[in-house]
Chain A
């Protein structure tokens, strides 16, 4: 098996390589990618092209945070987790993508995913100021993540009042937080819970 080479690297006829080359670069179109991201609740601003985003600096609590690179800011959208039946409803509301009925599907273009935008950073180049701002941004992001994790834990325990109180704290501390859409999603989940007696 180790002696076998893919046809595109040798061994295939010109015609075979022509066929294979045509499909090799096929990718989801920009529209299809947006649809997948929406269905997953991921922002189209996700830094899919990680050349500029330095990922994963472990914080003091051991949780993962995203370090900000010199040239990119990663924006987060809400990630509503839906199950398959709910996915059909929600995805339909967003993009009608959940239906598996016959869809007239054009052949996807091989255009690069230009719609996935890595928003230009305000951090600038690698000056001391830029580094400090990046560190502050990562620190605030970590704080948002930690607070929302406690909200989620309260929701898991079915303590609606506790969860909503934590969310109020989130709104106060991070009025422009990048995870506010996730906070909204958690608020909806907490609001559906029976309130406990604690306040």
Chain B
């Protein structure tokens, strides 16, 4: 599998771990995970420690999650973002979108 997405739930927090590549060929795999989120989730954490590659299409799916967070009223956090990934997020304005939606980049 080019992409493996795992989900762990703790109380009101859910951690989604992304392993592998996130591009046009794999982004559709994230959608079911977003649908599965409980309604009472307060925090969604994306763990990018094992992210191998992401491009603008992949980031599009993260942005979907951000939109969902606005709808359902939970916060999003990114953890274990590598330097390269951080640069890409920056260029594509992901942090700006996050700031606009939830007021902070956690």
Binding partners A and B: no
Interface residues of A (CB under 8 A from B): none
Interface residues of B (CB under 8 A from A): none
